[in-house]
Amino acid sequence: MMQVCRGGLLVALLGGAVAPALADYVTVISFGGANQKAQREAFYAPFKQATGDKVVHGAYNGDLVKLRAKLEMSHVSWDVVEVESPELKRGCEEGLFERLDPALAGNPVDFVPGALQPCGVGVFVWSMALAYDPQRVAKAPSGWSDFWDVRRLPGKRGLRQGARYNLEFALMADGVAAQDVYQVLGSDEGVARAFRKLDELKPHIHWWKAGAEPIRALAEGSVVMSAAYNGRVSAARTGQSINLVWTGSIYDFDYWALPKGVRKGELARRFVAFASQPEQQKAFAERIAYGPTNRRALQLLSPQVAAELPTAEQNIAGALAMDAAFWSRHGPALEQRFAAWLKDA
């Protein structure tokens, strides 16, 4: 039976969803691929079974441009949107998202610190890590300095197109300790240092945008190493040989957010509350190696599954926490500079 949370909000939301007068649907937009497949099995189908309300789902690449356009036209057909933390913070400040009660998902003390934000509820914890094909490298890389060493470990490298992640990786490759990255990157000299390091690797980079691309590139052999989402790598391991290096990985949250003026606000909140429960979070982590935001779910997972998650003690030890405030503040300028750098031959 569902526990009563502060103010009874969770019980009110989920209790009211048990027997709706008429079946309805909620539109949920998330990132595609293995992530969306896991969400269908852990969140969407069980939500319909539990409430009678269907989840109509779609995918996008995380860009807020389309959402802004919908809001400007007063045509918001999305009820729940999955967003990364810098976009959540920036969108919340711009008024793109609804404010959410922190008790929406349950008792706040049950959640990983940072999972509950003014405009978002954490879906999972993920990492962007160094992935490589052990059959195509002479020696296993141990971090980003090896990723940059094309002389000793030749072959193309894959990086997600954009400034975010890559400036951090470049500084770590240049010898900056993970805990000092954002301090260094906060100065003009640090930014210049990161771009100089990217200059070294530029001729050897295969740029990707969608999360499935680095997995496909590693399988095809068009790259020997790539930055990749850890969950994508885990999902692909049954069919191909890919290893992960957790040292120097960047971990962060993906969040559920509700667009401002959402038409089905009550149903959207019911969905978010449902997807945040321990059983659903456990089901999701068992299908893709992303860490639960509800810590009660960790108690339900096997040690084998827990060990593959970004939240495992041995995996997070040498990792860097994404600084969403930094990217919300400096992101637009750095992305503009990166775009100009990319065009410069």
Instruction: Let me know whether 200 and 331 are in one domain.
Output: yes
Instruction: Let me know whether 245 and 260 are in one domain.
Output: no
Of all residues in the chain, the percent with pLDDT exceeding 90 is 76
Residue 24 inside a domain? The answer is yes
How many Å apart are CA 126 and CA 219, to the nearest integer? Answer: 22
3-class state of residue 20 by DSSP: coil
Residue 235 inside a domain? The answer is yes
Confidence check: pLDDT of 32 > 90 = no
pLDDT at residue 19, rounded to an integer: 45
Residue 340 inside a domain? The answer is no
Instruction: Let me know whether 38 and 170 are in one domain.
Output: no
Residues 242-248: what's their mean pLDDT?
Answer: 95
pLDDT at residue 4, rounded to an integer: 35
Instruction: Let me know whether 141 and 241 are in one domain.
Output: yes
Confidence check: pLDDT of 162 > 70 = yes
Phi, psi of 27 (to 5 degrees): -95, 120
Encode pLDDT of 172-206 as tens digits: 999 999 999 999 999 999 999 999 999 999 999 99
How many Å apart are CA 169 and CA 191, to the nearest integer? Answer: 12
More confident residue, 6 or 125: 125
Residue 107 inside a domain? The answer is yes
Residue 1 inside a domain? The answer is no
At 18, is the pLDDT very low, low, confident or very high (cuts 50, 70, 90)? very low
How many Å apart are CA 211 and CA 123, to the nearest integer? Answer: 17
If one counts the domains in the chain, the total is 2
Q: Which residues contact 37 (CB under 8 A, 6 or more apart)?
A: 287, 288
Return the minimum-mean-pLDDT range out of 24-28, 75-79, 99-103: 75-79
Angle formed at CA 95 by CA 36 and CA 167, multiple of 5 degrees: 60
CATH of the domain at 72: 3.40.190.10
Confidence check: pLDDT of 29 > 50 = yes
Instruction: Let me know whether 221 and 328 are in one domain.
Output: yes
Instruction: Let me know whether 121 and 134 are in one domain.
Output: no
Instruction: Tell me the longest C-alpha to C-alpha distance in the chain.
Output: 66
Confidence check: pLDDT of 287 > 80 = yes
Instruction: Let me know whether 192 and 321 are in one domain.
Output: yes
pLDDT at residue 313, rounded to an integer: 86
Confidence check: pLDDT of 6 > 50 = no
Residues 123-146: what's their mean pLDDT?
Answer: 96
* Rg of the chain (C-alpha set): 20
Instruction: Let me know whether 118 and 149 are in one domain.
Output: no
Encoded tokens for 170: 């470049």
How many Å apart are CA 305 and CA 285, to the nearest integer? Answer: 8
Instruction: Let me know whether 296 and 213 are in one domain.
Output: no
pLDDT at residue 7, rounded to an integer: 41
Instruction: Let me know whether 21 and 64 are in one domain.
Output: yes
Instruction: Let me know whether 111 and 13 are in one domain.
Output: yes
3-class state of residue 269 by DSSP: helix
Confidence check: pLDDT of 16 > 90 = no
Encoded tokens for 213: 């691309």
Residue 87 inside a domain? The answer is yes
Average pLDDT, the chain: 91
Return the minimum-mean-pLDDT range out of 59-63, 165-169, 319-323: 59-63
Structural domain range at position 291:
6-126+253-308
Of all residues in the chain, the percent with pLDDT exceeding 70 is 92
Residue 341 inside a domain? The answer is no
Residue 344 inside a domain? The answer is no
Instruction: Let me know whether 221 and 324 are in one domain.
Output: yes
